[in-house]
Structure 1
């Protein structure tokens, strides 16, 4: 099957991605921890979504002693670059965060990499905080596979969250503060533009 979007493994357009069949109960403020390559780019996408209150770039999956950018960049710490999404589940449900994660924020068929960024720190992962989160995420992955959403297998791992470590201050809100930086223009902004095109009804009023 030929991808409908050149240069990607998408087999269907993002706006055609199915809604999840299962979801978490809406009960106010929640946090979701997602890893989809460089956290600058994933953060840039989620900051535009209505119901997302804050996004913090950081690390998960390794020990506290190595939860810093220099160590994580070696690819030997077990950490992934992640974002902590603080969201109002009464406005945007967990399943919608997953829909954007798989359709816009990254390519879940690339193992231990995203594009030219290579290493386990760039892996595709969902760090679940409860059995319910794991169930919803696992079910949605199976749903996307059944729908033939990608031309290659989804390799996203489901990992229990032990601890989230906020990243260094200079990483926070990096794309919005550095819109002309070369990497941001080449990698992050196309994702944001794709979000605007595919899900205009999910955007904040000032996005």
Structure 2
């Protein structure tokens, strides 16, 4: 299945030949405090969060192992509907970022805790327009809030984390409200689970799931919630 995304494979091989520079962050999680400001208790049974942090395979894979998450769909956000496909997004001209729409039960996990996992283990928020071996604005670190409340929580949390100096560099995550989400092609869904022997997944993404297990044991679930079971619409 890796041949379906030759850009990722070539980027990984080039990085390995260069001595592996830029890949170390994929294996490291960072322990960070929860947000001081979190969302208000929700009355709804479900909420959604839309996050971008490099290749959506890994971000999706991480959140599929989080308790309280009922679905995590890989897709695109930041651009127009007509360009929301892998071929065009890969051109780095559409404004889209590879993103994941996370549906979760706010009675089990808050939006703030979702962001804590996002910043801690799902990606490196200090890398500008790249993530590991993948380069381009489509791999940027971005939060697409679906409400003013989410935008406030995200902005406050970024400021809080920058003040802690726990990251070696400033956080470059952008907050981009009022952006639609478009699901990615079927072959991108559940990719980490379906391709555990992929070189890209082994090197870049499985360590993130292990970091989730180590840093957030109370929130970790062994059996991932899969799109093929939950459905695209959730």
Query: Which among 16, 20, 30 is matched to residue 14 of structure 1?
Result: 30
- Counterpart contact for 1:60–1:161, Cα < 8 Å: no
Alpha carbons 2:29, 2:208 under 8 Å: kept: no
1:42-82 CA-partner distances (Å, limit 9, x unpaired)? 00100000000000000000011100000001111000000
In 2: Cα distance, 1:37 partner to 1:13 partner = 15
Q: CA separation in 2, counterparts of 1:71 and 1:145?
A: 34
Q: CA RMSD in A?
A: 1.7
When residues 98 and 142 of structure 1 are mapped into structure 2, their CA distance, relative to the original with a 3 A threshold, is: same
1:173 deviates by: 0.6
- TM-score normalised by structure 2 residue count: 0.81
The reply to whether residue 187 of structure 1 matches residue 204 of structure 2 is: yes
Q: Distance in 1 between matches of 2:117 and 2:83?
A: 29
TM-fit CA distance, 1:13: 6.4
CA shift, 1:91, in A, is 0.3
Match of 1:80 among 97, 104, 118: 97
SS in structure 2 at match of 1:14 = coil
Q: Any stretches of 5+ residues in structure 1 without a counterpart?
A: 1-5
For each residue in 1:7-52, what CA deviation from the matched residue of structure 2 results, as whole angstroms up to 9, or x when unmatched?
A: 449xx9633x111111112322000000000000100100000000
Which of the two has greater strand per residue?
A: 1
Residues 98-177 of structure 1 aligned to structure 2 (within 5 Å): 98-177=115-194
Partner of residue 3, structure 1 = none
Given the superposition, is the C-alpha separation of residues 105 and 70 from structure 1 closer, same or farther in structure 2, using an over 3 Å criterion? same
Q: Tell me, what secondary structure is at the counterpart of 2:34?
A: coil
Matched residues, number? 199
How much has 1:205 moved relative to structure 2? 5.7
Q: Secondary structure at the match of 1:86?
A: strand
Pairing 1:31–2:37 present: no
- SS of the residue corresponding to residue 160 of structure 1 reads coil
Check whether the contact 2:25–2:132 (CA below 8 A) recurs between aligned residues: no
Uncovered stretches (5+) of structure 2, i.e. residues with no partner: 1-22, 225-234
SS at match of 1:200: coil
Quote the residue 1:202 is aligned against: 219
TM-score normalised by structure 1 residue count:
0.92
Contact kept? 1:39, 1:57, Cα under 8 Å: yes
Runs of 4+ in 1 over 6 A off after TM superposition: none
